[in-house]
């Protein structure tokens, strides 16, 4: 999918310009001895805000990963946002992962709800209920899929760009979380998980589960 801000996420432009100008100024007047930490931070900022194009895998009924990272949860859980028992799959993003979030399925947004909260390590299970988070409930054909962006220990801002009644497509960029975070995916219990705890996944490229009837 083509984005209007290829390769580097629009959320990072301000920080890249700020750090780049500062590093250049210090280098110009103080030399490399003083500027190298700033250049190092500039490189880190550049890799953090990268936003590569992604191609979805072929095949029907696939629920795609909404984030890059590592699977930390695959279990039955209660989806308090859609009020149902569900299969929960959680993706933890560290500071070296791409932090652009993408829709897992085609559908219509039913609800978008933001909840203030704490900033615990996003890899721990209680972060799902206690941390700052933003839940997007999507009606996908006859199924309901919930995507929950969760702030982490360092993350201090969740960005979400979709709204209720909006049509979304799988692979569509819908949000961003800065500096280490997590996305919980709640699926109907009949979904077949295709990933396991500890596995590395990539937004749009990796299928988290197969859900019969999703694309029929």
> Residue 105 phi/psi, 5° resolution?
-145, 165
Catalytic annotation present for 100: no
CA 192 to chain CA centroid, Å, is 21
Q: Which of 90, 181, 196, 216 is catalytic?
A: 181
The C-alpha atoms of residue 133 and residue 22 are separated, in whole angstroms, by 33
Three-class secondary structure assignment of the chain: CCCCCCEECHHHHHHHHHHHHHHHHHHHHHCHHHHHHHHHHHHHHHHHCEECCCCCCCCCCEEECCCCEEEEEEEEEEECCCCEEEEEEEEEECCCCCCEEECCCCEEEEEEEEECCECCCCCCCCHHHHECEEEEEEEECCEEEEEEEEECCCCCCEEECCCCCCEECCCCEEEEECCCEEEEEEECCCCEECCCCCCEECCCCCEEEECCCCCC
> What residues act catalytically?
181
């Amino acid at each position: 999918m083509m984005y209007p801000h290829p390769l580097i996420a629009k959320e990072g432009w301000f920080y890249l310009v700020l750090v780049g100008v500062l590093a250049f100024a210090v280098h110009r007047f103080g030399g490399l001895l003083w500027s190298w930490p700033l250049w190092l931070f500039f490189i880190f900022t550049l890799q953090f805000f990268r936003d590569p194009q992604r191609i979805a895998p072929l095949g029907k009924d696939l629920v795609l990963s909404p984030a890059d990272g590592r699977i930390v949860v695959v279990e039955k859980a209660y989806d308090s946002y859609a009020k149902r028992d569900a299969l929960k799959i959680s993706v933890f993003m560290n500071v070296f992962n791409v932090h652009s979030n993408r829709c897992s399925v085609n559908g219509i947004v039913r609800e978008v709800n933001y909840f203030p909260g704490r900033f615990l390590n996003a890899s721990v299970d209680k972060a799902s209920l206690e941390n700052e988070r933003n839940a997007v409930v999507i009606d996908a054909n006859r199924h309901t899929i919930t995507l929950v962006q969760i702030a982490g220990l360092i993350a201090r801002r969740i960005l979400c760009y979709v709204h209720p009644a909006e049509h979304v497509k799988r692979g569509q960029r819908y949000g961003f979380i800065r500096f280490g975070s997590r996305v919980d995916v709640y699926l109907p219990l009949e979904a077949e998980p295709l990933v396991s705890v500890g596995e590395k996944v990539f937004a749009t490229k990796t299928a988290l589960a197969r859900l019969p009837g999703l694309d029929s």
